[in-house]
Amino acid sequence: MLAYLLKRILLMIPTLIGVITLTFVVIQFVPGGPVEQMMMELKGRGGAGEASGGGAEYRGRRGVDPEKIKEIQALYGFDKPPLERYFLMLKRFAQFDLGQSYFQHRSVWELVKSKLPVSVSLGLWTFFLTYLISVPLGISKAIRAGSRFDVVTSIIVLVGYAIPGFVLGVLLLVLFGGGTFVQWFPLRGLTSDNWEQLSLMGKVMDYLWHLVLPITASVVGSFAVVTMLTKNAFLEEIRKQYVLTARAKGLGERRVLWKHVFRNALIPLVTGFPAAFIGAFFTGSLLIETLFSLDGLGLLSYEAVLRRDYPVVLGTLYLFTLIGLVTRLISDVCYVLVDPRIHFEGLHR
Q: End of a domain among 271, 298, 325?
A: 298
Residue 102 resides in a domain: no
φ/ψ region of 294 (left if φ > 0, alpha if ψ in -120 to 50, else beta) reads: beta
Considering only CA atoms, give the Rg of the chain. Answer: 26
> What residues pair up with 177 in beta bridges, in sequence order?
183
The pLDDT of residue 59: 47
Contact 326, 281 (CB under 8 A): no
Phi then psi for residue 232, to 5 deg, are -65, -35
pLDDT for the residue 137: 92
Q: Does residue 201 fall inside a structural domain?
A: yes
79 and 157 share one domain: no
Looking at residue 156, its pLDDT comes to 92
Looking at the fold, whether 184 and 243 belong to one and the same domain comes out as: yes
Residue 266 sits in a domain whose CATH number is 1.10.3720
The reply to whether 86 and 214 lie within a common domain is no
- The answer as to whether 171 is a domain residue is yes
Alpha-carbon distance of 294 to 120, in angstroms, equals 12
Give the least confident one: 9-23, 36-50, 175-189. Answer: 36-50
Indicate if the pLDDT at residue 44 is higher than 70. no
What's the confidence (pLDDT) of residue 64? 60
Long-range CB contacts (< 8 A, 24+ apart) of 105-108? 108/311, 108/312, 108/315, 108/316
Assess whether 73 and 188 both reside in one domain. no
Report the DSSP beta bridge partners of residue 107.
100
Q: Please check whether residues 78 and 165 belong to one and the same domain.
A: no
Checking if the pLDDT of 172 tops 80, the result is yes
Specify whether 123 is located in the same domain as 88.
no
Residue 82 within any structural domain of the chain:
yes
- Give the tens place of pLDDT for each residue, 98-124: 888 888 888 999 998 888 888 888 888
pTM: 0.70
Position 269 in a domain: yes
Q: Has residue 124 been placed in a domain?
A: yes
Residues 188 and 243 in one domain: yes
Q: Does residue 81 share a domain with residue 127?
A: no
- Domain encompassing residue 83: 10-46+59-94
Report whether pLDDT(151) > 90.
Answer: yes
Asked if 42 and 173 sit in the same domain, the reply is no
- The region of weakest confidence among 57-61, 271-275, 308-312 is 57-61
Distance (Å, whole) CA 100 – CA 310: 9
Instruction: For residues 76 and 152, state if they share a domain.
Output: no
What pLDDT is recorded for position 152? 93
CA distance 170 to 122: 17
180 or 295, which is more confident?
Answer: 295
**Domain total for the chain?**
2
Q: What is the 3-state secondary structure (H, E, C) of the chain?
A: CHHHHHHHHHHHHHHHHHHHHHHHHHHCCCCCCHHHHHHHHHCCCCCCCCCCCCCCCCHHHCCCCHHHHHHHHHHHCCCCCHHHHHHHHHHHHHCCCCCECCCCCCEHHHHHHHHHHHHHHHHHHHHHHHHHHHHHHHHHHHHCCCCHHHHHHHHHHHHHHHCCHHHHHHHHHHHHECCCCCECCCCCCCCCCCHHHCCHHHHHHHHHHHHHHHHHHHHHHHHHHHHHHHHHHHHHHHCCHHHHHHHHCCCCHHHHHHHHHHHHHCHHHHHHHHHHHHHCCCCCCHHHHHHCCCCCHHHHHHHHHHCCCHHHHHHHHHHHHHHHHHHHHHHHHHHHHHCCCCCHHHCCC
Predicted local distance difference test score (pLDDT) of residue 180: 67
Domain-located, residue 317: no
| pLDDT tens per residue, range 205-248 | 888 888 888 888 888 888 888 898 888 888 888 888 887 787 78
Q: Are residues 34 and 71 in the same domain?
A: yes
Residue 153 pLDDT grade (very low, low, confident, very high; cuts 50, 70, 90): very high
Q: What are phi and psi of 180, to 5 degrees?
A: -135, -35
Residues 256 and 294 in one domain: yes
Is residue 278 domain-resident? yes
